[in-house]
Structure 1
Amino acid sequence: MVVWAERWPSGHALLDGTLITVIPDPAIQLANLRAGKIDSMVISKPLYNKIKDDPEFRVYVNPHNTMVGLNFNHKSKSISDIRVRKAISHALDRKALIHGIQFDLARIASCMFPDNHWCHNPSLVPVSYDPELSKRLLAEAGYSDGLTIKGYNFSDPDSRTFAVAIKDMLSRVGIEWKVNSLSLTAFGEKARNLEYDVSQHVWPYIEEPDLPLTSQFHPNGAFNFGRSHNEKVIPLIEKGRSELDGAKRAKIYQEIERLLYENYEDVWLWWEVMVVAFQKNVHGYNHEMRQKHGQLYQWSHPLWFKDGHP
């Protein structure tokens, strides 16, 4: 009992690790969960309704610090005009996208930082869906007969669905998005060469605010490649990086968000949520703490089996 207490102060035989089983098909993943072959899994959004009320499992929906949207190449002739960027952003019905292709499992985004992030600017509201405004802006920019833009997206099934939905919404205001689905390698090559006007964009695991901002919006950023050069934002990124006071940093990053938002620097569509399911004999998960602390909680609080074994 002394050894037990020293190893597991909580009194429970905590898990020493996690064995990951790769199962490509989400439906087969769920079948394995139901069969008791796996103890926990992230649920694919289309399958959420099949398990959410199942008494055999504990199912939780958590905010996830991932932003999904579109990147603008500001070096593009058409995209360099803020009226075109506005037209594209207002042409996209975020609520419909979340309902139709995310199964209502996402949060409408206003800018980069999710609404539960410490640098989120609460004064910003998501860009409104206003296709008539988009048409007027395009006409003012000289595209009354329509506009053709090129771009790319990832090649996985969800990204292909994403591209179809975006392409359809843009077409309703007179914008043709010629989009190609590419592998990650080809995607990166196109980005480096700025061979696009508008591309799909996903930024996961937003924790330290400098990483996504410097990477995307600073001239020396790893994923900028010259696509964005906002003279008001760049010095603030550098200031935020060197500031040590947390409260002051938050104000700097909130100001950066405001400037990005007002310049329609990119299109921010939604922040992700994640559905996770556990077998009922898996204990130790605190949903409230997971929502508050995100991945920090997830990787610092071990679980245990009710009877000490699966």
Structure 2
Amino acid sequence: MGRRLVVIGLAIAAVSAAGCGHLPGRQPDPDQAAGFRGGAWREAWSRSPASLDPAHLVTLLDAAAATLIYNGLVRFDLQGRLVPDLAARMPERSADGLTYRFELRRNVRFHNGRELTAADVVYSFRRVLDPATLSPRAWVLEPLAGAAAFRRGERDDLPGVRADGRYRVVLTLERPLAHFLSLLAMPAGFVVDRAEVERHQDPADYGFHPVGTGPWVLAGWLPGAYLRFHANLDYFEGRPHLDRLEYRVIEDGATARAEFVAGNLDRLRLTPGDSRRFREDLRWRDAMVPAMDLAVYYLALNCEKPPFTDLRVRKAINHAIDREAILKAVLPDRHVPANGSIPPGLEGHDPALAGWTQDPDLARRLLAEAGFPRGFRMEILQTASPGALAITEPIQSMLAQVGIKARIVQLETAAFFSAVGDQGNPDAFFISWWADIPDPENFLYPLFHSKNRGAGGNRSRFADPVVDRLLETARATMDRAERVAMYQAVERSVFRQAPWVPLYFPVNYSIHQPWVRGYISSPVATAQKMTGVWFDPEATPRPFRPRGNRRETASEDAQLSDTPVVTHGSHAPGGKHADFHHASRCPRRPGGVAGGRAGFSRTHR
């Protein structure tokens, strides 16, 4: 690894460890920022959300849009910390780790003006778990007592969630689960208004007429064109600084880049090509902001299929590949090399975890010991993506140098996930995994516990009863330090057995206009509620009129509210495994394949 790459990797890890990437330059002073009201945020999305119904949110983009509208009992802040949201404070937990008591904030109101109560939380959780809802997110709430049977339609009551008066919610689990509160921060934990849901004859229509308690009110939505929001002036944490948000659907990256350079977009997420262009431009180079994604890319080996059942063969494949040379050529400055599955900056990441070094001679000796002195033939599956091919072709060449003749098979997304799922029997495949929550459990239990074999997340078919027991114990361990130590022990044990060739943790870059203040990048899709972002008129070359602290007028709201919100659209399920371009993340459980750009949820357990 070159010195430049080392420095970049350390810098990105430091940013990720802080849980955010800060915009260079002046950051918002709360007193100063409070004086600047107004302005419309403009950003490009590659597509429209599939729905804004929390029961059916399946992608990162869907979640990012919905978090503007809704709140849950708890949430992740921009530093990745779990904090109260609709709850007035973090819950009281019983000594046995089974019962959580939440006291709700008073005078929180839905966008229609109705006050939120404990009954709304109970209804929202029951709705997600109700088999009639067909929610791909139901697994999030399945740890609640009675939830599994309720979800199967075997019981009508749900003892795990109840209202204790108007402002108290009591949740009871079947068994202790250390990361349960983190699950509640996912979109499945968002609270909806029952009357708003049930006034639609077609249940799918609610996803296009959402009503929440969040800082932004949906004002206009034309699928394939834009989403518009106006500020909730009565938001319980105080109205946002900005007046409006507009997300334009721009599928073409060159068009989005041109719009940003012209000053028509306030923020742009950069592709690898964009990163090179902006880095070479002195006007923009210092404004690029790096941030770690909660994801890992890897080459999975089928541990149930000969010859990959032989540890020596799996080790030989790891020793044959020079990951750093590949990544330096293909993704300069856009990666941190991976030795395991837990990304840098996430609790449980072990920087001392030893990786596999390229050693072709050792690889040949291991193959000979395993009975393959002349190598063997194999297939590497990938989605039909030029980006993925840029990774797999050098791997193919390096394997050939030790006698392994690998054929690359490119498949459409649906065929790919079928081939690497429960019914498939691949040799190896290039894939990625994206987290739902910033917790190390996300990068171990679904990927390596034997019960999740195949489409459940453990697509390499890895099985080790010792690892299974450690994972189960760690999930029920409430002591944070003990739990982290267990996860690090699991990761070391797993990667000594080489079920993967771990490749890299992705680094993304975004860029902001010079007038933007207070925007913090977060790898958690639901963390950015756009409440602290504001425009600095002293740095604004385009027309800007600060509104001070006055309220918007009815006519200003009407400018956006006149745009109708459509009542149709697709509801494609999404998931968590992804190809190189994030074009689809694994099927929702137990099967099926996502459409859309960026997958959000783990569909496994």
Q: 1:196-239 CA deviation, whole Å, 9 max, x = no partner?
A: 11111201236222233222211222123681112221111111
Q: Amino acid of the residue matched to residue 497 of structure 2?
A: N
Q: Which residue of 2 aligns with 1:126?
A: 355
Quick check: which has more Rg, 1 or 2?
2
Q: Which residue of 2 aligns with 1:255?
A: 489
Distance of aligned partners of 1:219 and 1:22 in 2 relative to their CA distance in 1, 3 Å threshold:
same
Q: Which residue of 1 aligns with 2:409?
A: 180
State how 1:27-46 maps to structure 2 within 5 Å. Answer: 27-46=254-273
* Post-superposition offset of 1:17: 6.5
The alignment status of 1:112 with 2:346, answered yes or no, reads: no
State how 1:1-310 maps to structure 2 within 5 Å. Answer: 10-13=34-37, 14-15=241-242, 18-52=245-279, 53-56=281-284, 58-191=287-420, 192-205=422-435, 207-221=438-452, 222-224=456-458, 227-286=461-520, 290=521, 294-295=523-524, 299-300=528-529, 302-307=532-537
Q: 1:34-59 CA deviation, whole Å, 9 max, x = no partner?
A: 12222111111123121124425721
Q: Which residue of 1 aligns with 2:167?
A: none
Q: Is the 8 A contact 1:219 1:226 kept in 2?
A: no
Q: Amino acid of the residue matched to residue 278 of structure 1?
A: H
Q: Which residue of 2 aligns with 1:5?
A: none
* Post-superposition offset of 1:300: 4.9
Distance of aligned partners of 1:245 and 1:146 in 2 relative to their CA distance in 1, 3 Å threshold:
same
C-alpha distance in 1 between matches for 2:504 and 2:545: 39
C-alpha distance in 1 between matches for 2:533 and 2:333: 29
Residue 146 of structure 1 aligns to a residue whose secondary structure is coil
Q: Amino acid of the residue matched to residue 219 of structure 1?
A: S
RMSD of aligned alpha carbons: 2.5
Distance of aligned partners of 1:103 and 1:27 in 2 relative to their CA distance in 1, 3 Å threshold:
farther
Q: Amino acid of the residue matched to residue 381 of structure 2?
A: Y
* Post-superposition offset of 1:298: 5.1
- Identity among equivalent positions (%) equals 28
Q: Amino acid of the residue matched to residue 55 of structure 1?
A: R
Q: Is the 8 A contact 2:305 2:425 kept in 1?
A: no
- In the alignment, structure 1 segments of 5+ residues that lack a partner are 1-7
Distance of aligned partners of 1:123 and 1:15 in 2 relative to their CA distance in 1, 3 Å threshold:
same
- Higher helix residue share: 1
Q: Across the two proteins, how many residue pairs are aligned to each other?
A: 298
C-alpha distance in 2 between matches for 1:123 and 1:267: 17
Q: Is the 8 A contact 2:297 2:503 kept in 1?
A: yes
The 10-residue stretch of structure 1 (18-27 or 38-47) with the greater mean CA deviation from structure 2 = 18-27
Distance of aligned partners of 1:18 and 1:234 in 2 relative to their CA distance in 1, 3 Å threshold:
farther
TM-score, normalised to structure 2, is: 0.46
Q: Amino acid of the residue matched to residue 212 of structure 1?
A: F
The 10-residue stretch of structure 1 (223-232 or 265-274) with the greater mean CA deviation from structure 2 = 223-232
Distance of aligned partners of 1:28 and 1:242 in 2 relative to their CA distance in 1, 3 Å threshold:
same
Q: Which residue of 1 aligns with 2:117?
A: none
